[in-house]
Structure 1
Amino acid sequence: MASKPFIALATTVFFFSLIAVNHFGKPFQGKLGEMEVVPITDAVGPESVAFHPLGDGPYVGISDGRIIKWQPNEHRWISFGITSPNREGCEGKHDHETREHICGRPLGICFHETTGDLYIADAYMGLLKLGPAGGLATPIPTHAQPQPIPFTFTNSLDINQSDGSIYFSHTSSLYHRRNHIAVVLSGDKTGMLLKYEQESKQITVLLTNLSFPNGVALSKDGSFLVFAETTKCRILRYWLSTPKAGNLETLAQLPGFPDNIKRSPRGGFWVAIHSRRCKVLSWILSYSKLGNALIWVLPVDVITKAYSVMSKYLGSGLAMRISEEGIILETLELESGNKMSSISEVQEKDDHLWMGSINMPFLGVYRL
């Protein structure tokens, strides 16, 4: 008789094979063809991209818990910082997911333009700050009312450069990052959107009951922010000022699962779409009992690992630029056979798109 692990693995592979059906549907307006790749040694997943206010970089957070900085003149990466003091067994060529709760897993990163400090949303360590000299990132002291918030899955952030307030997403109170696929399959709605105020060190919960809140970006004038609700494949707009303050509305419905969001210097926002949402998965997500049944039958770690492996080959990432009113301005789709199978973030700088990924051992660079 086949062993339980074998049955579990076979079932998972079959399930995600179904998801792959119709994955490559109708093409969009543009194709992401040849791009430069900036390889990363012994690690993967440059999830988010940030440039120093003086132009240095890019800086990225990777799977072994480090923040690394690109030295363009030397064509190499250097270690800039770490998010956890526990570094034993963190570096080297191996599966970092098994130790990311110890080593840290930096996701969203953003510089404060005045101080030069790098703020980090680490999936396990919470909100962190890394000074201009780098080194060990320090936790940001916070106070939350009515009670402390356990950082189970901190994800993305953006900074109001005028007052230093940080807006960030907390994806789930039930699942950690290494089991992110379970957040989607289970229909988990324990996600939150939060605000941290520098002066009072106070965290305010802005929104609750969110389905995989992900990328966060402030509008150019700071009157609202947008964030991705990944499970529901949409971008929401939350008003911070004007008479609409406190209102939440759907800004854009998307053809796939959105990840990070960044403002474009040409206007609007770049939305990174990890992959398309196919018909089979849409049906499954309409009935959360199906996803929960799969999680009950199969170990979550097995499901997540199978998805991570298959997404490298089945990915069909998109980069979409939308206006502040949700109108699609520009869409670029990864071509079949492209080295980069999925996209986690798109950062536009000097007529180039710097593209991150959660599972690739490089950063992609595309010339506009």
Structure 2
Amino acid sequence: MMKLFLVVAICVALFLSLTDFSGKSPKHGESMLTVHFPEFRLIPTTGASGPESFVFDISGEGPYTGLSDGRIVKEGCEGPHEHQRTEDVCGRPLGLAFEKSTGDLYIADAYMGLLKVGREGGLANQMLTRQLDEPLRFTNGLDVDPRTRVVYFTDSSSVYQRRNYIGVMMSGDRTGRLMKYDPNTKQVTTLLSNLAFPNGVVLSQNGEYLLVAETAKCRILRYWLNDTTSASKSRESYEIFSDRLPGFPDNIKRSPRGGFWIGVNTKHTKLTKFAMSNVWLGRAALGLSVDWMKVHSFWASYKGNGMAVRLSEGSGAISEVFEGKNGNRWMSISEVEERDRTLWVGSVNTPFVGMYKI
């Protein structure tokens, strides 16, 4: 029995390493450009880490980002704070989006739920104060419809919190949800449920659909909005937009050059694919007296291999790849925000923001 447990522990530890030594690029699209970054600029986030998401305000100022100590900062305005052991108390902002007409900043906080800060800054206010049928436990990504002011967001799990997100992956948890909040009616609606670690969400340019990253399934879902035509009535409310991604997708952002940037936290290996197809392995390992978050953190810092891919808006195929080469590997990538031919690169693991001029 102990031998079996040892095998399980080793296999899952390797799975959590999420390491890829092949250096091969994905093969989704016929046209593909791999971006190297020898002149990559790193901007430290003093006193905290994990700049996951970026957003620019209505005046074009920014980027603003959320950090591991619960602050939302404009780059260059940080200060020292304690954070890692108190994120469930101080909050952990993940997804960010400005409401264009008012300048209000909406925040998906992993512990505090859906928050809003006025255009002058200050303390964030909780939007969902009434008791939900199923409380938010792991609020993650969001986007705001500039036409209707409706906020679309994800709750990654009804069982696990962010501080134990590895449990979501290892257990095969499917309690995640895609939701919407209407500030006009104050109503919250669940659009999709039974999702495996729903993460980043983005509205299409024309407002016809949402893209949602289903991290544990390594795929992107498309959820159709306002299906009122006769042709659309026969269509399912959602479909797979892109699957068999090269790793675990995180946030999604539109690219001004067309398509969508997908932050890929870490790339696949043969072991990760094996573990994903044998969920019993992860469930058995969760029963061991092992801190799997520490195991994951160790391997991610030692052998991290984050990347980002740009998907075609029409086909969902990979048209561009962003990753480090020749010793410049990125530990993990949570998001790529493209603006004025500059890529702002975020990660939940690093104490700095990456900036790359295209």
Task: Give the direction of change, closer, same or farther, for the CA distance of 1:296–1:336 in structure 2 (3 Å limit).
Answer: farther
Q: How far apart are residue 298 of structure 1 and its match?
A: 3.0
Task: Give the direction of change, closer, same or farther, for the CA distance of 1:336–1:214 in structure 2 (3 Å limit).
Answer: farther
For residue 86 of structure 1, what is the aligned residue in structure 2?
A: none
Q: Equivalents in 2 of 1:120, 1:10: separation in Å?
A: 41
Q: Deviations over 1:119-141 (max 9, x none)?
A: 00000000000111211100014
Q: Equivalents in 1 of 2:153, 2:357: separation in Å?
A: 30
For residue 138 of structure 1, what is the aligned residue in structure 2?
A: 125
Structure 2 segments unaligned to the other structure (5+ residues): 26-32
Q: Equivalents in 1 of 2:35, 2:53: separation in Å?
A: 22
Q: Give runs of aligned pairs for residues 212-291 of structure 1, distance below 5 A.
A: 212-242=197-227, 243=229, 244=232, 247-253=237-243, 254-291=245-282
For residue 58 of structure 1, what is the aligned residue in structure 2?
A: 63
Q: Equivalents in 2 of 1:210, 1:141: separation in Å?
A: 21
Which residue of 43, 46, 67 maps to 1:41?
A: 46
Q: Deviations over 1:86-135 (max 9, x none)?
A: xxxx923xxx3321110100000111111111100000000000111211
Q: How far apart are residue 166 of structure 1 and its match?
A: 0.5
Q: Equivalents in 2 of 1:327, 1:120: separation in Å?
A: 30
Contact 1:143 1:202 in 2 (8 A): no
Q: Give runs of aligned pairs for residues 166-185 of structure 1, distance below 5 A.
A: 166-185=151-170
For residue 344 of structure 1, what is the aligned residue in structure 2?
A: 334
Q: Equivalents in 2 of 1:357, 1:44: separation in Å?
A: 9
For residue 303 of structure 1, what is the aligned residue in structure 2?
A: 292
Report SS of the residue matched to 1:44: coil
For residue 30 of structure 2, what is the aligned residue in structure 1?
A: none
Q: Equivalents in 1 of 2:56, 2:6: separation in Å?
A: 41
Q: Give runs of aligned pairs for residues 193-208 of structure 1, distance below 5 A.
A: 193-208=178-193
TM-score by length of structure 1 reads 0.87
1:159 aligns with 2:144: yes
Report SS of the residue matched to 2:86: helix
For residue 317 of structure 1, what is the aligned residue in structure 2?
A: 306
Q: How far apart are residue 340 of structure 1 and its match?
A: 3.1
Report SS of the residue matched to 2:77: strand
Q: Deviations over 1:8-54 (max 9, x none)?
A: 99986774346558612242241432211111111110011111110
1:30 aligns with 2:20: no
Report SS of the residue matched to 2:223: strand
1:127 aligns with 2:118: no
Q: Deviations over 1:333-356 (max 9, x none)?
A: 222522632100000000000011
Task: Give the direction of change, closer, same or farther, for the CA distance of 1:229–1:132 in structure 2 (3 Å limit).
Answer: same
Q: Equivalents in 2 of 1:163, 1:269: separation in Å?
A: 22
Task: Give the direction of change, closer, same or farther, for the CA distance of 1:278–1:174 in structure 2 (3 Å limit).
Answer: same
For residue 284 of structure 2, what is the aligned residue in structure 1?
A: 293
Q: Equivalents in 2 of 1:11, 1:206: separation in Å?
A: 36
Q: Equivalents in 2 of 1:358, 1:307: separation in Å?
A: 13
Q: Equivalents in 2 of 1:164, 1:280: separation in Å?
A: 43
Contact 1:236 1:252 in 2 (8 A): yes
1:116 aligns with 2:121: no
For residue 28 of structure 2, what is the aligned residue in structure 1?
A: none
Q: How far apart are residue 55 of structure 1 and its match?
A: 1.1
Q: How far apart are residue 143 of structure 1 and its match?
A: 5.3
Which residue of 318, 321, 343 maps to 1:328?
A: 318
Contact 1:316 1:336 in 2 (8 A): no
Q: Aligned AA for 1:121? A: A
For residue 90 of structure 2, what is the aligned residue in structure 1?
A: 103
Q: Equivalents in 1 of 2:89, 2:19: separation in Å?
A: 38
**Between Structure 1 and Structure 2, how many residues are aligned?**
340
Task: Give the direction of change, closer, same or farther, for the CA distance of 1:9–1:177 in structure 2 (3 Å limit).
Answer: farther
Q: How far apart are residue 274 of structure 1 and its match?
A: 0.7
Q: Equivalents in 1 of 2:10, 2:116: separation in Å?
A: 40
Contact 2:260 2:310 in 1 (8 A): yes
**Runs of 4+ deviating beyond 6 Å:** 8-11
Which structure is higher in RCO with an 8 Å CA cutoff and minimum separation 6? Answer: 2
Structure 1 segments unaligned to the other structure (5+ residues): 1-7, 71-75, 80-89
Percent identity over paired residues: 46
Q: Equivalents in 2 of 1:150, 1:22: separation in Å?
A: 34
Q: How far apart are residue 142 of structure 1 and its match?
A: 5.4
TM-score by length of structure 2 reads 0.89
Q: How far apart are residue 309 of structure 1 and its match?
A: 2.6
